[in-house]
Amino acid sequence: MCGIFAAVSNEFVTSTLVGGLSSLSYRGYDSSGIVIVNENGLQRRRAEGKLQALSTLLAQNPVEGYIGIAHTRWATHGEPSERNAHPHMTDRVAVVHNGIIENYPDLKASLERDGYHFESDTDSETIPLLISRNLDKGMSPETALREAVSQLDGSYAIAAVFADEPQTIYAARYGSPLVIGQGAAGHFISSDSIALSRVARNLCYLDDNEIARITVNEIGITNAGGCTVSKELKPLIISQQDQGKQGYKHFMLKEIHQQPEVMRNTLNHYCDAATFTLKSEAFPANLSHFERLSIVACGTSYYAGMVARQWFERYACIPVDVDIASEYRYRESPFSPNTLALFISQSGETADSLAALRYSKEQGLTCLSLLNVESSSMAQESDAFLRTLAGAEIGVASTKAFTGQLLVLLLMSLQMGKASGRLDERAERELIQHLYTLPVEMAKVIDEMASIDKVAESLVHSEHTMYLGRGMSFPLALEGALKLKEISYIHAEAYPAGELKHGPIALIDNKMPVVMIAPPGPMMGKTLSNLREVSSRGAQVILISNGSGIEMARQHITQAIEVPETDALLQPLLYTLPLQLLAYHVACLKGTDVDQPRNLAKSVTVE
Ligand code: G6P
């Protein structure tokens, strides 16, 4: 949460800083601000609300210079307001911060005792005040920063500029990401590499406890002890596909349409297309040694784990637990030593998932992560990690990362089955061959979803909806309901269809639309019985099924979304698509901010 961007350049930097914040807005968007260092000292502009508010302010009250820091915020300590927006500053130093300072009450008390006054309600303001106190003791800017960060408990990525050293930006990190870019005009600092793509050609990542001193010509990095760290700058490679909306109205729609490509890239990474076999070397070597699998994640990634549980049970014959990270780490459940802990996270930075990973490591478990961001904290701290090949996901509501996770988890379950001898060569080849039809099938489903507009119209005025499904369609129902909640703000609940009569059926009346997910298969008959139960109580039923499922239920449904006939293996991946598109179209009809829904952020680095 929160995005940091900074620039020291031969050219004016204000528009570069705002451009950087625009790319980082997915990390938080309740306020933003910049500090420019120029002949008038540290010049600050801040505004509450989305980045446009800052742009408007800058048009009314411009500021320019060759060096500056910038921030886009997701509020943790202190309400979203201009007063709490970053940068926080004194007359000697300005700081932008991403992370949480856990010991800030103690630090604040100590600073206030020494006469340092807080203007905001944030934990972050502790940092410029600590630095200022050190400067007032006569320390140099670098020493003042080094001493200040040594007092912080929690996580931080920081960029700081000093009135006394107007040509330098300092950066420091512990637990929150920070990347330094080198471009033709100067140097840049960012919370992610994509935001650097407009200005930088090369990059390097700052590691925990390192401090960078950056001028227009030089990057100097030191470790906690002050010793120089030499880092290789690597070329910044961002695929064309990852840049901008590529003609789509929203990032979310672009990312929905990218899913066939994500499937293709994932298959090619983990499978051999010539032989339709798994590339065993693409997976960790010892997967078959484990007797239990413990999957831990948050949000959409958690639902991916719930879907995958059934694949691991079926193909790898391994018992599986699936936990929400924020619950798992406090549960103190007994671990068997032969448990593989698997963490699923798009960002690799989610605070609860990261904390759960650290907790599992302390318990002596082998920790594997499935991540979309290779440079993330979870990648660094896991024993091994697998990649989803979703590319940059900017829409706050996860789409392509989810289906990317599903496919890797399915392939991993097959690999575990293969490694333990439960999946023979013939079965492996048949399954992988089916999976290779996925990109084309997905593209077909996305293209043929024109009818979804009409279905969306019927939901747009609802206050509540219920999503029902059985088996793997239950976690899909949870994910579909989450998508609708996140971006359209319509209350949506999801239940296993068989659980309906144990309570939720009391909610059913003609004001409760029900989205029923019923792919063909052994569960279909039972799901259609549940469908009749809700329709006979007045519910407007939207059925997502194949042609014959829709035909069978015709008298009991108001609307239908048809998914083409497909192999059972592909069903969860294909049935996700109408759920994503339905939520998207409802949100568009409601006119909400699809890519930046209220109160949310993409990378949740607070517990
Ligand atoms: C946030 C996002 C969700 C995401 C969840 C877990 O809540 O808004 O879309 O599923 O975090 O994120 P992760 O990066 O760990 O998958």
User: Does the domain spanning 452-590 belong to CATH 3.60.21.10?
Assistant: no
Catalytic-labelled residue, pool 2, 204, 367, 588: 2
The distance in angstroms from the start CA to the end CA of the chain is 11
Judged by DSSP in three states, 71 sits in strand
On the question of pLDDT at 76 being above 80, the answer is no
Which of 29, 74, 298 has most ligand 1 atoms within 8 Å of its beta carbon, as the pocket-test mutant? Answer: 298
**What is the chain's Cα-based Rg?**
26
Asked if residue 341 has pLDDT above 80, the reply is yes
The whole-number pLDDT of residue 600 equals: 86
Confidence of residue 483 (pLDDT cuts 50, 70, 90): very high
Does domain 251-436 correspond to CATH entry 3.30.300.30? no
**In Å, what is the CA distance from 214 to each residue of 169, 188, 217, 380?**
5, 9, 8, 24
Q: What is the pLDDT of residue 109?
A: 97
pLDDT higher than threshold 80 for residue 323: yes
Give, using CA atoms, the residue closest to atom 2 of ligand 1. 602
Predicted TM-score (pTM) of the model is: 0.89
Q: Does pLDDT of 176 surpass 90?
A: no
Q: What atom in ligand 1 is closest to the CA of residue 325? A: 15
Give tens-digit pLDDT for 218-247. Answer: 999 999 888 999 999 999 887 777 778 889
Q: Whose CA is nearest to atom 7 of ligand 1?
A: 299
The pLDDT tens digits of the residues spanning 439-478 come to 999 999 998 886 798 899 999 999 999 999 999 999 999 9
Across the chain, mean pLDDT equals: 93
Decide if 3-238 and 452-590 have a common fold: no
d(CA 353, CA 64): 40
29 phi, psi to nearest 5 deg: -155, 40
CA-proximal residue: ligand 1, atom 15 (nearest):
345
Residue 300 Cα to ligand 1 middle (Å): 6
Q: For residue 603, what pLDDT band results from cuts at 50, 70 and 90? A: confident
Ligand 1: atom nearest CA of 401 is 16
Q: Ligand 1, residue 350: give the atom nearest the CA.
A: 15
pLDDT of residue 376: 85
Q: What's the whole-number mean pLDDT along residues 35-41?
A: 97
Give the model's pLDDT for residue 374: 87
**CA 472-475-477 angle, 5° bins:** 105
- Told to judge if 367 belongs to the known catalytic residues of this protein, a careful annotator would answer no
Residues in the chain: 607
Ligand 1 pocket test, pick from 192, 303, 604, 605 with the greatest ligand atom count within 8 Å of Cβ, gives 604
Residue whose CA lies nearest to ligand 1 atom number 1: 602
Q: Could you give the percent of the chain with pLDDT greater than 70?
A: 100
Smallest Cα–Cα separation from 399: which of 460, 305, 479, 335?
479
The pocket around ligand 1, CB under 6 angstroms, is made up of: 298-301, 345-347, 350, 353, 396-398, 600, 602, 604
Query: Ligand 1 centre and the CA of 595: distance in Å?
Result: 14
Q: Do 412 and 386 meet the contact criterion of CB atoms below 8 Å apart? A: yes
Does residue 27 carry a pLDDT above 80? yes
**CA 55 / ligand 1 centre spacing (Å):** 28
What is the reported pLDDT for 4? Answer: 97
All structural domains of the chain with their residue ranges: 3-238, 251-436, 452-590
Just give the CATH number of 3-238: 3.60.20.10
C-alpha of residue 262 to centroid of ligand 1, in Å: 18
Annotated active-site residue 602? The verdict is yes
Distance CA 195, CA 184 (A): 16
Q: What is the pLDDT of residue 337?
A: 79
Q: Which of 254, 400, 418, 602 is catalytic?
A: 602
HEC secondary structure over 260-320? HHHHHHHHHHHEECCCCEECHHHCCCCHHHCCEEEEEECHHHHHHHHHHHHHHHHHHCCCE
More confident: 462 or 78: 462
Distance 20 CA to ligand 1 centre (A): 22
Q: How far is the CA of 26 from the centre of ligand 1 (A)?
A: 11
Question: Residue type at 605?
Answer: T
If you measure from the C-alpha of residue 603 to the centroid of ligand 1, how many angstroms do you get, rounded to a whole number? 6
The pLDDT of residue 438: 95
* Predicted confidence (pLDDT) per residue in 512-559, tens digit: 999 999 999 888 888 888 888 899 888 999 999 999 999 999 999 999
In sequence order, which ranges of 208-258 are alpha helices (DSSP H)? 251-257
Of 1, 347, 372, which is best to mutate to test ligand 1, by the most ligand atoms within 8 angstroms of its C-beta?
347
Q: Which of 295, 326, 346, 607 to mutate to test the pocket of ligand 1 (most atoms within 8 A of CB)?
A: 346
Atom 8 of ligand 1, nearest CA residue: 602
Q: What is the pLDDT of residues 123-136, one digit of tens each?
A: 999 999 999 999 99
Q: In this model, does residue 100 exceed pLDDT 90?
A: no
Quote the ligand 1 centre to 303 CA distance (angstroms): 11
